[in-house]
Amino acid sequence: MGKHKVTIIKLAITAVLLTIVLRGVNFQEMAALFGSANLFWLLGGFALFLLGVVIRAFRWSVLLKGLGSRIRYGRLVELYFVAGFFNTIFPSSITGDVVRAYEAAQDVPAGIAAGTVIIDRATGILALFMLALLALPFRPDTFPNLLLIQIVVICTVGLIGGFVVLQGSLVRKFGRFVPEVARPLWNKLDTMLAAVEACGWRSIWLAIGISFIFNLMQTGWWWAAGKALNYDISFVYYMLTTPIMSLAILLPSIGGLGIREGLAPLLFTGAGL
C-alpha cells in the first residue's frame, strides 16, 4: 500500500472517530469548563510536560553513552521537541522517532542512532506497564473489573514482548528464515538490533529507572489537567489509565486524535465522569 494511501486511511480514521466522539459533546458546556479552568494547575501541568522532555533527553544520552557515543545534551533536548512537533501534525506516532533517528545520525552512526531511539521508546513503554501493575493494589473500589483485566493483559503481554525485543539476539535468530527478497530490509533491522544488544543491560535498566521518573511526571500532568478542570480523580487512577491513553498514539490516527477521545469516557467511568 502506498504511503499516500496509508496517510489518507489514517486521516479518515481520525475524522470518523472525532465525528463520533464530538456528536455527543455539548460545546457550550465545554467552553464554559475550559473558561473556568484553574490557571495554576494548567501551568503546573505544562511545567511537568517541559521537564519531561528534559528527563527523556537525559535517558537518551544514557543509552548513547552505553554504546560509547555522545551527542550534545542540548541537541538531544532540541530533537525531542522537534519529534513532538512531527508526532502532532503527521499521521503517525513514530514519525517523531524517525526524525530523531535521522537527525541523530548526523552525529553518530545510523545504526546506533536508530537503535538507541528504539530502546528509548521501549524502555519508556516498559516502565509505563510496570507502573500500572504496581498501582493495581491501590486502585479505588469503583475501578471497573473489565478495565482491570484489560490493563493486566496489556501490561503483561507488553512487558514480555518488550524484553524480547531488548534481548536483540532472540529476534536476530529469525534472520535465517527471512526470504531473499526481504533481506535488504532485514539487514537494516539487524543493524539496529545489534545496537540494541550492544547497549548492555546496565544502561537499559538505568533508562527504565529514568522512565519511571518520567512516567510519574506524565501521570502528574494528566492529574494536574484534571485538577485544573476541578475533577476529583485520584493520582492512582491516572497511573492505571495513562498506559492505555499513551498507547493510543501508536494506533493509526493523527497524533492519537479521535482514539484517545473515544477511550477517555470508557476509562474514566469508574471515576464518575
Domain limits, the chain: 3-271
- The pLDDT tens digits for 194-237 are 777 778 888 899 999 999 999 999 999 989 988 998 888 889 88
CB under 8 Å to 267, separation ≥6 — which residues?
Answer: 147, 241, 244, 245
Average pLDDT value for the chain? 80
* Distance spanning both ends of the chain, measured CA to CA: 40
Q: What is the pLDDT of residues 45-64, one digit of tens each?
A: 999 999 999 999 999 999 99
Give per-residue pLDDT as tens, 123-164.
998 998 898 888 888 887 878 888 888 888 888 998 998 888
Rounded CA separation 129/215 (Å)? 10
pLDDT tens digits for range 58-90? 999 999 998 888 899 999 999 999 888 887 776
Grid coordinates belonging to 129: 506497564
The pTM (predicted TM-score) of the whole model is 0.78
Q: Give the per-residue pLDDT at 76.
A: 94
